[in-house]
Amino acid sequence: MNQKYSNLDEYTEILAKNAKKASKALRTLTADQRNGVLNRVAELLRAQKTDILAANKADLEAATGKLDDAKMDRLTLNDARVEAMAKGAEEIAAFTDPLNKVLESRELKNGIKISRVAVPIGVVFFIFESRPNVTIDGACLCFKAGNAVILRGGKESLNSAKCLAGIFRSALAEVGIDEDAVQLVTETSHDLVGKLLQRSDCIDLVIPRGGERLIRAVVDQSKIPVIKHFNGICHVYIDKSADIDKAVNILINAKTQRTGVCNAMECVIFDRHLAANDVKKMLDALVERGVELYGDQDAQSRDSRIADIGEPSNYHHEYLALKSSVKFVDDVAEACDHIEKNSSRHTEAVVAEDASVQDYFVANVDSSSVMVNASTRFADGGEYGLGAEVGISTDKLHARGPMGVESLCTYKWVLRGNGQVRG
């Protein structure tokens, strides 16, 4: 975006009105036009990898000593992550077109043919923190679904995001599509975000992706509907019927495969009827990989490596690090009660061979994803076959769980008659 502005009010006006104007043009683009842009984005990402990594290096150098390890990992781009962005753009291009699909149709008694058809939401304000790859993921998904997007990343990733958003805008300009279908907010002031959150006249949906404090602040300020992606306080319950080898592998993967992500395990729950040696084997697997353990007095009495978790409310905590809470329960019902109280409604897993335990867990856990004998790390748009995602919604409306292109559409009713009037 090269337009000049003299103050935040003027900048807000430019962003909002440009996005609204671009969204109108996007409604009539064909699937081939949208897919062509996405494939070109993939080509440009590969061709400009050196520029992308140079911009990211500047961000990393500026953030060194200011961000913890988990946030530095999220900020980091490398060859593999640039290639993943390019492949993600191609995968999204290859998806079936989500627009103009007839979701249902029938003929009314009066002869009018009625149908419900998928259409774009319009303008999405997408707020995210220090993960520069989300710039491309968010832009690709919104564009595939025919939406204009205003992207606002964390200040830590501004150089990277400018480079990535510029690549997308170049792909649009090459084929004569309004570049303002993708706009990056380059002003880091929080006041600007607050002003944009008031623009319900131009912006149709807000998606904040980040920490709980960010999301609550957005919800408190916004006059626009918000899809929330709260903390990933994910649990794994190990039932007395569990296959212990399966449980060990699942715990290792859920906690240590990548710690700074929202679908990593933050609490392991053990059935008290498990053999002590089996519990030790599972905890050994975590401790050997550097995981620090925290629990209540009951948990501490069972293993000296478990430190005091403090207040019971501390079980509602997202570590995003090599740390895990530990809880012991009598059965699956108590496990579900603990999850109900402490979960963020993101993803929970049960490890059990007993089908009745599996069924009870699935029926009683109210989270967006429930895993049976599988790692919480599978809660991901790519793993679900949705491609890249704009986030994992912990809401129940309008979308829930990993949000791919279909979650970025709404619908309208189309009625086709032959002169009918209502009596």
* Per-residue pLDDT at 2 exceeds 70: no
Q: 42 pLDDT band (50/70/90 cuts)?
A: very high
Residues 136 and 276 in one domain: no
- CA 162 to the chain's CA centroid: 21
Is 423 a domain residue?
A: no
* Per-residue pLDDT at 387 exceeds 70: no
* Per-residue pLDDT at 222 exceeds 60: yes
Report how far residue 243's alpha carbon sits from residue 285's, in angstroms, rounded to the nearest whole number: 15
Instruction: Give me the pLDDT at residue 3, please.
Output: 65
Number of folded domains in the chain?
Answer: 2
pLDDT digits (tens, 9 = 90+) for 252-305: 999 999 998 899 999 999 999 999 999 999 999 999 999 999 999 999 999 999
Instruction: Give me the pLDDT at residue 400, please.
Output: 87
Instruction: Give me the pLDDT at residue 381, please.
Output: 83
Instruction: Give me the pLDDT at residue 1, please.
Output: 53
Is 384 a domain residue?
A: no
| Beta pairing, strands 113-120 & 409-416 | antiparallel
Q: 119 pLDDT band (50/70/90 cuts)?
A: very high
Residues 197 and 247 in one domain: no
pLDDT digits (tens, 9 = 90+) for 240-254: 999 999 999 999 999
Stretch 98-106: mean pLDDT: 96
Report how far residue 131's alpha carbon sits from residue 128's, in angstroms, rounded to the nearest whole number: 7
Residues 262 and 310 in one domain: yes
Is 391 a domain residue?
A: no
Residues 153 and 242 in one domain: no
pTM of the model: 0.81
Stretch 17-40: mean pLDDT: 97
Instruction: Give me the pLDDT at residue 391, please.
Output: 78
Stretch 381-399: mean pLDDT: 80
Is 385 a domain residue?
A: no
Angle between helix 355-364 and 332-342 (nearest 10): 20
Q: What is the mean pLDDT of the chain?
A: 94
Show the domain range for 126. 8-227+403-416
pLDDT digits (tens, 9 = 90+) for 314-364: 999 999 999 999 999 999 999 999 999 999 999 999 999 999 999 999 999
* Per-residue pLDDT at 6 exceeds 90: no
Q: Which long-range contacts (CB under 8 A, 24 or more apart) does 396-404 make?
A: 398/225, 398/227, 399/227, 400/368, 401/368, 401/369, 402/369, 403/141, 403/207, 403/227, 404/95, 404/141
Is 390 a domain residue?
A: no
pLDDT digits (tens, 9 = 90+) for 350-365: 999 999 999 999 999 9
Residues 213 and 332 in one domain: no
Q: 13 pLDDT band (50/70/90 cuts)?
A: very high
What's the CATH number where 123 sits? Answer: 3.40.605.10
pLDDT digits (tens, 9 = 90+) for 135-150: 999 999 999 999 999 9
* Per-residue pLDDT at 63 exceeds 70: yes
> SS3 sequence, the chain?
CCCCCCCHHHHHHHHHHHHHHHHHHHCCCCHHHHHHHHHHHHHHHHHCHHHHHHHHHHHHHHHCCCCCHHHHHHHCCCHHHHHHHHHHHHHHHHCCCCCCCEEEEEECCCCCEEEEEEEECCEEEEEECCCCHHHHHHHHHHHHCCCEEEEECCHHHHHHHHHHHHHHHHHHHHCCCCHHHEEECCCCCHHHHHHHCCCCCCCCEEEEECCHHHHHHHHHHCCCCECCCCCCCEEEEECCCCCHHHHHHHHHHHHHCCCCCCCCEEEEEEECCCCHHHHHHHHHHHHCCCCEEEECHHHHHHCCCEEECCCHHHHCCCCCCCEEEEEEECCHHHHHHHHHHHCCCCEEEEECCCHHHHHHHHHHCCCCEEEECCCHHHCCCCCCCCCCCCCEECCCCCCCEECCHHHHEEEEEEEECCCCCCC
Residues 114 and 248 in one domain: no
Cα torsion 18, 19, 21, 26 to 10°: value is 140
Instruction: Give me the pLDDT at residue 157, please.
Output: 95
Residues 181 and 62 in one domain: yes
Question: In 3D, which of 132, 32, 96, 86 has the Cα closest to residue 385?
Answer: 96
* Per-residue pLDDT at 372 exceeds 80: yes
Q: What percent of the chain has pLDDT over 90?
A: 84
Residues 174 and 264 in one domain: no
What's the CATH number where 329 sits? Answer: 3.40.309.10
Instruction: Give me the pLDDT at residue 337, please.
Output: 98
Is 269 a domain residue?
A: yes
* Per-residue pLDDT at 211 exceeds 90: no
* Per-residue pLDDT at 226 exceeds 80: yes
pLDDT digits (tens, 9 = 90+) for 65-99: 999 887 898 899 999 999 999 999 999 999 999 99
Q: What percent of the chain has pLDDT over 70?
A: 99
| Beta pairing, strands 113-120 & 102-107 | antiparallel
Residues 122 and 271 in one domain: no
Instruction: Give me the pLDDT at residue 69, please.
Output: 86
Instruction: Give me the pLDDT at residue 140, please.
Output: 95
Instruction: Give me the pLDDT at residue 147, please.
Output: 98
Instruction: Give me the pLDDT at residue 382, please.
Output: 80
Tokens of 207: 């998606």
Stretch 157-163: mean pLDDT: 97
Q: 204 pLDDT band (50/70/90 cuts)?
A: very high
